[in-house]
Structure 1
Amino acid sequence: MAEQGSSGQGLAARQAAAALLRGVLIDGKLLSELPTPKLQDAGDLARAQRLAVTTLRWMDRADRLLGRYLRKMPPPEAMVLLRLGTVEICEESAAGHGVVNAMVSLAQKHPDTRHFKGLINATLRKVSTEGPAKWASLPTPQLPKWLRKPLIADYTKPVIAAMEGVQAGLPPLDITPKNGDSAALAARLGGEVMPGGSVRLREYGQVSRMDGFAEGDWWVQDMSAALPVQLLQLNDGEKALDLCAAPGGKTMQMAALGADVTALDLSEKRMQRVQENLTRTGLKANLVTGDALEHQGQYDAILLDAPCSATGTMRRHPDLARAKDGSDFPGLFELQERMIDHALTLLAPGGRLVFCTCSLLPDEGEIQIEDALKRHNDLEVADIDLPDLPGEWRSKEGGLRLRPDYLAEQGGMDGFYMAILRKT
């Protein structure tokens, strides 16, 4: 049961949401890195996580509105409550008096915000009176400047604005059918078949209770993330390696195609998730916990979904742009180079390697492939044999560059890059 008090029902969820936001905005951690809030009610937990994600998604607009009422920016701890309250009032249409009372109560509970409860009270009262009418007229939330500026240089301002428009909305659910029959699964669940064969659902309930989930008939996987395995064109019985395999979506795709799959990941905990997914779907793979740079063997097909900035997944994970500042990117670029070079040593004669990243940065996509070709004289980018994909998705060096604003009217997609490499 939700906590009761002067701030009404739901104080426990709001307090947990504020803690999650502090973890991202003040401590610089991703939501996935933070401990799950300890709440007695499962509904409160779901609400806390939803409030935190929604606040991060709409934070830029909230700051623009709050700027009209604040003479100067209060400390980060107080801004967390102001942003949370503003988004709940203006985006979620919550009753203003209840939100104001709740945020004041939370301010009183935390030592860093206790002295700002008067400011929080006065500001959010103005927001509750005037904010909802102004909210829709404010600009679409923009990415932080540290990321937006270089992306504009790579894609132009109109393209980035289109991406931001998609990322402001709630993304649909994409799923991959185990048996490959997308049309049947779409008819069964009321979805639509997307380019590449993913099934997209605009309306859905709790995933684990949906028809076919417990039976292992399908798994959740963004349509962009489902394409790299298709590029491999796997044949039954081929030896295939999934480097950096967790959480296992691509491993399951490879296994469902009849390949002899080895799935490798550095994290034992993440590999447990891969095993759980394989068990649920009744698929099999050889699971190895270890360092991809030390792995040995010979494989007909290798999928290298390399560690990256994950900037392509911000429509589902808006915390990425708020917790990070780009300082770790150069280290990721170097790691990707090393992983490509090592993966090429694992290819059997005539084998192929698909390199992919869930990134919008060309340094983690097109440029990585161009540099790999310079380092290896016996390397080429192979043709992509997926004729149903739009031509604009193809990049000049021969890969696929997927963007969140593609198929925007249908909900967009994660940003991704992928290419097939073969030794000549």
Structure 2
Amino acid sequence: MMTKPETPKTTDAPQNAQPKNAREAAVRTLMAVTLKGRPFDVALDDITSELDGRDRAFVMQLVMLCLRRLGSLRVLMRTLIDRGLPRNATWTDAALLTGLAQILFMRTADHAAVNETVTMVKNLSGKERGFSGLVNAVLRRAVRERDALVAKLDAMPDADLPDWLQQSWSKAYGPAVMQDIARCLQTAPPLDITLAVGQDADTWAEALAATVMPNGSLRRALTDVAELPGYTDGTWWIQDMAASLPVMLLGDVSGKHVLDMCAAPGGKTMQLVSRGATVTAIDRNRNRLKRLHANLARTGLKADVHVADAATFTPKTPVDHILLDAPCSATGTLRRNPDVIWTKAPEDVEKLATLQARILDHAFALLPTGGTLVYCVCSLERAEGKDQIDAFLSRHKNAKRAGISADDLGGMDALVTPEGDMRCLPSMMSDAGGMDGFFAARITKDQTA
């Protein structure tokens, strides 16, 4: 078991501005995430800006795979290298990880994975070039012993989680469920689609080669989204099935004024507008709001959008309902964002829980008597979910938990907790592709106590 990837502090990596090829770009991107803590998408865009689409897709697939299996790949590396690597051999370390991932998990030619990785290390400017023989030996051994090594990796799914997440999820859900979640996080998620209201699910499922899920989402294999029918027409948008459920908890919102707090990139905003609501959408991140505006433009939907702090914003006109998708640790989205596994820590959860409480209190102050507030987070941490709501209810005697039922969630009774909240785990519906981790609670406001 690992507390965090054991990466060194310095590197002999080449200093050229752009990588020479896709494999070098993958190594650079992996190092940017694991050594510098850069968000994966930001690092990918910077490092692959001059690569063509095919090479960029290769880099994305390879680095995402390395991040999903980072813990177990490091354990395996220690068994393949007798003396280990010195702590300053960061480039060699990352090169070995990408080489092993290609050989053990990807359909790339073995000779290309070995030879190009070895050449990369040979071309380093410092002492690390001396590790090229070691890299060659390790990768060739991986080719020879592929099946046995893959079996070893598959036998230790919890190694791909830092210790604090193992402990947190074991305490919250039990060790067996923790292991199931860890296994699900090792695989790429499917593509989930939300249709605009009025579109026929069965018709679009056939057109998109998709399956209709219990809540009405469509699910299909990953592909280039922009090439699918209906995308440019704005008939649908990409949204994980779990992420689409909180809006359903507001019921009929037609003609209602709904405040969508922390709204970017806009999936829930589009759901609300499509269902007939008048929506005020806010987010403090101006760059993320650019995606919301783009999504609204593509779908032809309209909302009143503001750059604003959810902890202080007050709409010009009173609202009927509030949807608060609070800032969180995002540990429920690790299938899609595996860099989060190695860039978050317990103290981040504590800070976010404090922020969530502040925003939640402000949101409740804006809610009219009889109104509904749906609080949700894409987190698996109890501190951001059940514990957050329990503490909120203890502070506000006129707040009531409006229990959620399976009927609210397309009949998915496994998602309803004993308290009447919604809890999605990545391991749920795993035979159908799983889902993101999500928590949601529905709160109503009585007369002032």
TM-score over 0.5 for the pair: yes
| Secondary structure, counterpart of 2:36 in structure 1 | coil
Q: Residues 157 and 179 of structure 2 are in contact (CA less than 8 Å); yes or no, is this contact kept in structure 1?
A: no
Instruction: Read off the aligned partner of 1:94 and give its amino acid letter.
Output: T
Matching residue of 2:15: none
> Identity, % of aligned pairs?
38
Structure 2 residue 361 is the aligned partner of structure 1 residue 361? no
SS in 2 for 1:183: helix
Q: Is the 8 A contact 1:59 1:141 kept in 2?
A: no
Q: Could you tell me which residue of structure 2 aligns to residue 3 of structure 1?
A: none
How big is each residue's C-alpha offset from its partner over 1:110-159, in whole Å with a ceiling of 9 and x where there is no partner? Answer: 44643422322222222222234431353153212221122111111110
Deviation readout 1:182-222 (Å, 9 max, x if unpaired): 23321221211112111111x34310110111110100000
CA positional deviation for 1:165: 1.8
SS in 2 for 1:254: helix
Q: Which range moves more in the overlay, 269-278 or 92-101?
A: 92-101
Q: CA deviation at 1:50?
A: 1.0
The structure 2 residue matched to 1:55, chosen from 66, 79, 85, is 66
Cα distance in 1 for partners of 2:176, 2:125 equals: 44
| Cα deviation 1:384-423 (Å, max 9, x = unaligned) | 2551333231112221011011101001100000011111
Name the CA shift for 1:386/1:239 in 2 (closer, same or farther; >3 Å).
Answer: farther
Shift of residue 266, structure 1, vs aligned partner:
0.5
Instruction: Indicate if the aligned counterparts of 1:231 and 1:386 stay in contact, CA closer than 8 A.
Output: no
Aligned counterparts of 1:110 and 1:389: Cα–Cα separation in 2:
57
Partner of 1:227: 245
Indicate yes or no: 2:351 matched with 1:331.
yes
Q: Which runs of 5+ in 2 are unaligned?
A: 1-18
Counterpart contact for 2:72–2:157, Cα < 8 Å: yes
Structure-2 separation of matches of 1:119 and 1:92:
22
The one of 78, 103, 106 equivalent to 2:92 is: 78
Q: Which residue pairs with 1:104 in the alignment?
A: 118
Q: Name the SS for the 2:80 alignment partner.
A: coil
Q: How far is the alpha carbon of 1:100 from its aligned partner?
A: 1.7
Q: Which residue of 2 aligns with 1:241?
A: 259
- Please tell me whether residue 13 in structure 1 is matched to residue 22 in structure 2: yes
Q: Which of residues 125, 128, 131 is equivalent to 2:143? A: 128
Counterparts of 1:358 and 1:402, CA distance in 2: 9
8 Å CA contact retained: 2:274, 2:301:
yes
User: Does the 8 Å CA contact 1:13/1:45 hold for their aligned counterparts?
Assistant: yes
Query: Are positions 1:279 and 2:297 aligned together?
Result: yes
Where structure 1 has 5 or more consecutive residues not aligned to the other structure, the ranges are 1-9
Q: Any conservation in 2 of the 1:242–1:303 contact (CA below 8 Å)?
A: yes
1:404 aligns with 2:426: yes
Q: Which region of structure 1 is more displaced relative to structure 2, 183-192 or 223-232?
A: 183-192
Partner of 1:6: none
1:142-157 aligned at under 5 Å gives the runs: 142=158, 143-157=161-175
Deviates more, 1:364-373 or 1:11-20: 11-20
The one-letter amino acid of 1:120's match is V
More divergent stretch after superposition (388-397 vs 49-58): 388-397
Scaled by the length of structure 2, the TM-score of the pair is 0.88
Residue 318 (structure 2) pairs with residue 289 (structure 1): no
1:130 partner letter: E
Look up the SS of the partner of 1:52 in the other structure.
Answer: helix
* 1:182 equivalent among 201, 223, 230: 201
How far 1:70 sits from its partner (Å)?
A: 0.9
Separation in 1, partners of 2:72, 2:347: 25
Query: Which position in structure 1 is the counterpart of 2:9?
Result: none
- Which residue of the other structure, out of 59, 74, 79, is the alignment partner of 1:68? 79
CA distance in 1, matches of 2:96, 2:438: 34
Q: Does 1:23 align with 2:32?
A: yes
Equivalent-residue separation in structure 1 for 2:181 and 2:207 (angstroms) = 31
Q: Which residue of 1 aligns with 2:10?
A: none
Separation in 2, partners of 1:210, 1:260: 29
Compare 89-98 and 129-138 and name the one that shifted more: 129-138
Distance 1:184 1:301 in 2: 32
Which amino acid is the alignment partner of residue 254 of structure 2? D
The structure 2 residue matched to 1:392, chosen from 392, 395, 414, is 414
Equivalent residues, number: 414
Q: Report the 3-state secondary structure (helix = DSSP H, G, I; strand = E; otherwise coil) of the residue aligned with 1:72.
A: coil
2: CA distance between counterparts of 1:33 and 1:104?
27
Match of 1:5 in 2: none
CA distance in 2, matches of 1:357, 1:144: 21
Deviation at 1:35, TM superposition (A): 5.3
Q: What is the rounded CA distance, in whole Å, between the counterparts of 1:330 and 1:72 in structure 2?
A: 38
Q: Could you tell me the TM-score, scaled by structure 1's length?
A: 0.93
The residue identity in structure 1 corresponding to 2:31 is R
- Give the alignment's Cα RMSD to 1 decimal: 1.8
CA distance in 2, matches of 1:175, 1:150: 31
| Cα distance in 1 for residues equivalent to 2:257 and 2:84 | 57
Q: Matches of 1:397 and 1:111 in 2, distance apart?
A: 60
State the one-letter code of the partner of 1:414: D
User: Quick one: structure 1 residues 204 and 53, their matched pair in 2 at CA, closer, same or farther if it must change by over 3 Å?
Assistant: closer
Call closer, same or farther: CA 1:234–1:140 in 2, change over 3 Å. Answer: farther
Show the counterpart of 2:441.
419
Distance 1:416 1:28 in 2: 24
Deviates more, 1:328-337 or 1:112-121: 112-121
Distance 1:72 1:177 in 2: 55
